Amino acid sequence: MAQRDELYRRFGPILLEAMVLVLLEQINVLRKEQGMPEITEQDLMDSLNNHLAELEPYDWMTEEI
């Protein structure tokens, strides 16, 4: 798991948040073209929260500072 830890630690949370919001915008453009309702930021946060509850924490998340 060292590779995964190192990769995501380097990017930081603000970059990840920006990427998620860009992807949400683009997904909603495609959904609109198909006549589907948009996914709200709250829908996204709820889904992310559900997935986060299922994932194992990174090693560095449990280290004491």
Residue 62 Cα distances to 7, 31, 58, angstroms:
17, 38, 7
* pLDDT recorded at residue 31: 98
10 pLDDT band (50/70/90 cuts)?
confident
Structure tokens at 32: 């609109």
Structure confidence at residue 60 (pLDDT): 83
Per-residue pLDDT of 36-48, as tens digits, reads 999 999 999 999 8
Does this model's pTM top 0.85? My answer is no
